Structure 1
Amino acid sequence: MKTSLLLLACLTLASLCEIRGADTPRAELIGRQVPNFILPSVTGKEIALADYPEIDFLVFVFLGTECPIGNSYIPQLNELSRKYPKEKVRFVIINANLSDSADEIKKHAREYKLRLPVLIDHDQISVDILGATRTPEAFILDRRRTIQYVGRIDDRIGYRFKRAEANRSDLEEALKELIDGNLPSVKTTEPEGCRITRKADRAKNGNVTDASHIA
């Protein structure tokens, strides 16, 4: 119920929100090799990119605690993570929202039954490295840890619509193509969701929440 009400608010406010605020065009992110970084998880354990040397594909998905679009995708992300063998594909959630405390992120993971590792990034290290701008926003890294896909999970939910089924499951299609030894036919898509507030923006504009920047 909470997610549905928030999603309705998201759709209502969409016309008042900015369209996009990316620092780097997504097409320029493709092929970028990602350096190692280390972040704390909600369990208290630190997790590094280098902890997965044998994993063929890493899928990072940025989420926030209050973004209705992102929360609507959590069951689907849990299902996707179960669909692929963990020795080949690993899904990891990153919360880089300045307005979400560590306790709130832990509570959110419990309440929404997130079955994936959840990393906390208040220093926004991963945002700087990967170029993330929205929640939800997905990144697929290959074994060399180069970015092969960046964008939305699918086209099921947007600012002004919610479909029963997606027309195209962009993240999964890209992952399937990579597993089959091919490059994704669609490498970038435009994610629709809440903007990740950067530290510089917060200092300039005050203590705004990430969910208030929905478009």
Structure 2
Amino acid sequence: MLFTRRTMRRPLFTICVLVSAFLYGGMCQAQKTQATYGYYLNGEPVRSLAPSGASAVVLFFAASDCPISNRYVPEMRHIEEEFAARGVVLWFVYPNYGTTADAVKQHEAVYGSEKHVLLDPDHQLVTLARAKVTPESAVLVPEPRGGDTFRSVYHGRIDDRYVRLGQERPKATQHDLERAISDVLEGHVVQQPNGPAVGCGIIGHP
């Protein structure tokens, strides 16, 4: 009888060890795969783009040395103020490889500081939003399964002020980004831009 009990204990012990290893491995894997959306100017990783319950996240891909991008800074501030009370969070994203935190801080000293600013040197957000130029915008919405994961429902130009490089309208006649944000908030199908984004190409790793 004693032999039988020992025999039974061995597989039970083995099962307990395997279950513990599986659970521990799952926890480690979850930690390894935790989303990162670029870096704050202090070097810390950005783990969350918006608080729980946010309606949408707007990304504005910017470059400190792109004149067209700089001209859109006031417009993006206007959009941020317009939709902030409705749960929309706007980020200024600096995606160009080689852009430093000091360069962005100097840029902010000229154009004003922003509430949400990040560097995207590894192009996590560029890939998610399929961004190609600065300035360009994207609208993200939370995934239904929850957690801090998002999917892109709009990417492209902010408005139609620039027809092409060197050709600018006196003022925009179509406000594509504002329309897309409104579509999300009102539960409508999100309309895509009626023309390409015009600006400076995003610089990736050499």
Does the alignment reach a TM-score above 0.5? Answer: yes
Q: Any idea what SS the aligned residue of 2:38 has? A: strand
Q: Give 1:67-86 correspondences, 5 Å limit.
A: 67-86=66-85
Q: Any idea what SS the aligned residue of 1:172 has? A: helix
Q: Any idea what SS the aligned residue of 1:142 has? A: strand
Kindly indicate whether residue 57 of structure 2 is the aligned counterpart of residue 58 of structure 1. Answer: yes
Corresponding residue number in structure 2 for 1:176? 182
Q: Output the CA distance in 2 between the equivalents of 1:99 and 1:108.
A: 15
CA shift, 1:195, in A, is 0.5
User: What amino acid is aligned across from residue 154 of structure 1 in structure 2?
Assistant: D
Alpha-carbon spacing, 1:146–1:124, altered in 2? closer, same or farther (3 Å): closer
Corresponding residue number in structure 2 for 1:38? 37
Corresponding residue number in structure 2 for 1:150? 155
Alpha-carbon spacing, 1:51–1:180, altered in 2? closer, same or farther (3 Å): closer
Count of paired positions: 166
Q: Output the CA distance in 1 between the equivalents of 2:49 and 2:83.
A: 20
Question: Is contact 1:137-1:152 (8 Å) kept?
Answer: yes
Corresponding residue number in structure 1 for 2:12? none
Q: Output the CA distance in 1 between the equivalents of 2:111 and 2:49.
A: 28
Corresponding residue number in structure 1 for 2:172? 166
| Dislocated runs of 4+, deviation >4 Å | none
CA shift, 1:50, in A, is 5.6
Q: Output the CA distance in 2 between the equivalents of 1:117 and 1:174.
A: 20
Q: Output the CA distance in 1 between the equivalents of 2:142 and 2:171.
A: 31
User: What amino acid is aligned across from residue 97 of structure 1 in structure 2?
Assistant: N
User: What amino acid is aligned across from residue 54 of structure 1 in structure 2?
Assistant: G
Q: Output the CA distance in 2 between the equivalents of 1:193 and 1:61.
A: 13
Corresponding residue number in structure 2 for 1:209? none
Counting aligned pairs with the same residue, the percent is 26
CA shift, 1:91, in A, is 0.5
CA shift, 1:82, in A, is 0.7
Q: Give the RMSD, CA atoms, in angstroms.
A: 2.1
| Structure 1 residue runs without a partner (length 5+) | 1-34, 203-215
Q: Output the CA distance in 1 between the equivalents of 2:154 and 2:127.
A: 17
Alpha-carbon spacing, 1:65–1:160, altered in 2? closer, same or farther (3 Å): same
Corresponding residue number in structure 1 for 2:134? 135
* Bigger RCO (CA 8 Å, 6+ sep): 1
Q: Output the CA distance in 1 between the equivalents of 2:139 and 2:65.
A: 24
Question: Is contact 2:58-2:137 (8 Å) kept?
Answer: yes
Q: Show CA shifts across 1:83-140 (max 9, x none).
A: 1134510100111112422210111122111434110122223223332211111110
CA shift, 1:166, in A, is 0.6
Of the three residues 185, 200, 203, the one matched with 1:197 is 203
User: What amino acid is aligned across from residue 68 of structure 2 in structure 1?
Assistant: I
User: What amino acid is aligned across from residue 150 of structure 1 in structure 2?
Assistant: H
Q: Output the CA distance in 1 between the equivalents of 2:192 and 2:122.
A: 31
Corresponding residue number in structure 1 for 2:90? 91
User: What amino acid is aligned across from residue 184 of structure 1 in structure 2?
Assistant: V
Alpha-carbon spacing, 1:106–1:174, altered in 2? closer, same or farther (3 Å): same
Alpha-carbon spacing, 1:188–1:56, altered in 2? closer, same or farther (3 Å): farther
Higher-Rg member (1/2): 2
Alpha-carbon spacing, 1:44–1:100, altered in 2? closer, same or farther (3 Å): closer
User: What amino acid is aligned across from residue 159 of structure 2 in structure 1?
Assistant: D
Question: Is contact 2:55-2:88 (8 Å) kept?
Answer: yes
Corresponding residue number in structure 2 for 1:8? none
